[in-house]
Structure 1
């Protein structure tokens, strides 16, 4: 979520140590002995408050639940992370265009580092996220391209990584180059991809490439054939699902709720923001939550169960509020844990069904409630904070995984 979140302040600058690593490469800013991850691990993407750098923090949810190890793999701030099995994948986005695979047993090393560009690309493909259909098949969304990639994450040679493509060029608005694919989820045997379809023209006919002037869509593909499904709801010949909201950022699924699509809309027009619900069987979309001047735009969503959800509202840069909402009725409730007018940078639900709220540094000398950036782990039933975890930068994304553990007798260390 590239415009939202954050709360804490007075950034505690951790020492950044550059490591020279062999073979596949990779770098880490951590001087700690490699922790013995054996159980649930949170993989956190962080960014400096001035966007000058980013990296990965690792949190052992079982052995040291209050401590973040890192940063690992210092890089640009425009990054995301996904997890699968014993590996996590650091995705370096705009103008970096790389996918990096990391085995949790070797957190300071890259298993491989592959490009998200192909022959003929003249601009950044801007890889956004990767969605797994199986161990050896995943879909790589490329925000700056007309084609998503079908990839083999088990490939040991870069030439074997890109194994196919999904053509989304027909969703590109007239006068622009790409449909701006932003998020995806797999439900049963179908892949649902959100398409922002940004692009409009001002009164002077000058292009406005990030104007939500067009209906946003969700494209649906059969993951067995990789053929697009005609949903029967599209307009003007488009096969996908038209949304009521615009500029979608995140799609999520819960079996008792269906698909929810969170859209930020236009930063100056809250009425284009909100949450759409999609029936995964009929492909029918309805509007569940609508942004408003009173509520603000909707900039984040997390689901616990059919009665409990949380959303983040956007009232301006570094001005976010966390609220409870009912994901079936759409009823928006009260502010949670006094997180109001703060900089909420991420929202996630752990395997233990706890709510993880990332709060980032607020750059405002007139505020007296500024703290260091970090994560609040909350009980979603009581809206109480269980613990706070300091992070090396603003926590902009959280993904969870199961680590297999390492040999207790190993003398493998991360050293300067």
Structure 2
């Protein structure tokens, strides 16, 4: 089967711009080059903590980073680790631990256990709202701050008491939460909570692809609790249109936690024996697309020194288009496995010829295998100037 592609000079200007920027990124990746841009600026009203190592913070991104090696008992990364961010769904860890304080998971009613499972695996918001309401709302945070000795964590502002995702949280406090879970909580609680986090679903219950950051940067074993807020669509389903609540566009008083910019967080444990605890909390410029933030958090996470982590083989390549499907085989007749967030970077392990796909003026019969999805996408949607991506082996 033959393929053809119109010369760059004849392509639409928008497509050319996408290809140029992404091809530059691919070239840097293939050459082993890295570019560090932006700043790990402290959240307003906080004092930056010293850097242990130099994480690569993408331009325009504000980040709080902490990586703790449980084997040595030392941090390998700390950048703005005391900076306060709105927690988004990471607070569900505290909601779950509060529920299980002095209680075995086996003592939970069947309905509550089902809610916890959904809250930790699929980041289910309805489950979190239920527990937030019945267990005292902000009092949950007050109790957990005292129990775990958290220093940067605080209940949501008084203007938004029902918004559990507006709980203030830092990277270093997130590490404390995981250290408690791993080293101090009862075995049954530890195994239950981590067991759910190890079963994190790619598609969250609200239609967002939540396997960014840790889940995309490292091979298993890992266990993750992610968070996102302020985005309009997050892949996984072609019709995901969960708009941010109006309050997500607000900022409270000067010096308070930023409630305005889109937030995307990846937290969890990585490696055999849960050797490393990783917390990456980020804010992105207003209007940032989910796919771009997803890719930026991925680049940041991949730059970190994470002892015990195994990095997957392959080449990271940008994509273009929206509603792009990953399929079980290299043909559009194969069952779709998921839908990619628009413009996200993907890890390509190999490529092979399959069904010819046409998106005028482009025609391509090469398909890329994405190991983290266990399926194929048409190369026509890869941001590469060639139908067959240079440097990527044939399957």
Q: TM-score range by the shorter chain?
A: under 0.3
TM-score, normalisation: structure 1: 0.23
Higher helix content, 1 or 2: 2
TM-score, normalisation: structure 2: 0.24
Higher strand content, 1 or 2: 1
